[in-house]
Structure 1
């Protein structure tokens, strides 16, 4: 379905009925459909949006793709669909950063927060500036060549090395999903909502007075360390490290993630 807001129009996939209600947020170059096969037989209702710059969500040309605008839109979507009731919120990678921002802005809307392979931002101004330059260079690379060339580069990142062991059908499916994106929209997302552009939400973790589950893959050493640092600050945090998988836990270990989701069903 397509849901029209004031200056943006979101593509949403809604799966299931009843309680609990979930909002699942995908990573960079993904879409809400990334979670479809994972949740279609689970109890509860799952709202799977395409985030700004991704899938078939679109917005007015002058509409900023900032973190503030993204979480404002998600709040408007939830209000239209379920009113003011809290949801279970799951975010992966980029979507996890959005989930943290949403929880910091609308804590009353979060029943349980699930953070998969993500971070609350950069700790220092210097680190943010360096990351902004990195994101800008990545966006320039994206715009200067073909989308297929950028996808080749993206898939070759060490962060995704563990995905080389996926079966060929699944790898083809993931690549096809990436290749249907709009590179101009992706570049706008990178420069306006990338890790370097978002606020530093580390201090907010101390005020997350709801259950928060941090999920990382054992082979993803970087985000496992970041996840442990987050757990040190979260008042009601618990960690799950999934063995023998990397950054994209829900892709590489779907049965494990389904079991986590069922616990709330």
Structure 2
């Protein structure tokens, strides 16, 4: 068992999510930075889709009942075990926590979200085939609070140090495919504009602050389906890029869909975002 001593502002259990349930109104959820989650799992010998912990900006503190092999990936942050910085003999954030040991993942100095993998995985109950916390629908385990106790599975694989962490960029250029409602706007304005990540962003969507997109159509749309990466434009004209916990329908027009939202997982408020059109 692992006991949460300090949960941080938003620490959740995440795996690779529950795709395939949108027809029932259930978003995919899952780790915002799937690359970091897979890497952490490989380091400790788990399958890629094993459940890990996803922290937000300020990390978390955990006490381990039994000794465990642990990896931390994603955001750059100080990692201590029993108040001592962990040694990284292989150049990766892979280490052992002794029985009774306390792991502290501190404030992110670069990026936003750290991923904590434990050999055996976080063994909470699955909901619709996933252990992910969905902050919009409420499916899956509750977000962690101080005192939460988490079960750990039985380690079954060999650790692998193959793979390197993704680079955390200071400016993002996101590829987007226009549609289905790009005819409601002048798409050239989207490509000519520079936006900043808003502090109001979360696991549901990355809100952008910058030049407002002006509609060329009057009236409103009936609700229609939206997918991961949809760039929805509310009445104020400031785009929102939908992330893992996005709704499955929406009534605001979608100007396009971002091909890869993974870089947004580590984009801090104020990060510059520009768009380029995908073929």
Structure number with higher strand proportion: 2
Q: Same fold (TM over 0.5)?
A: no
Return the index of the structure with the highest Cα Rg: 2
| TM-score, L = length of structure 1 | 0.25
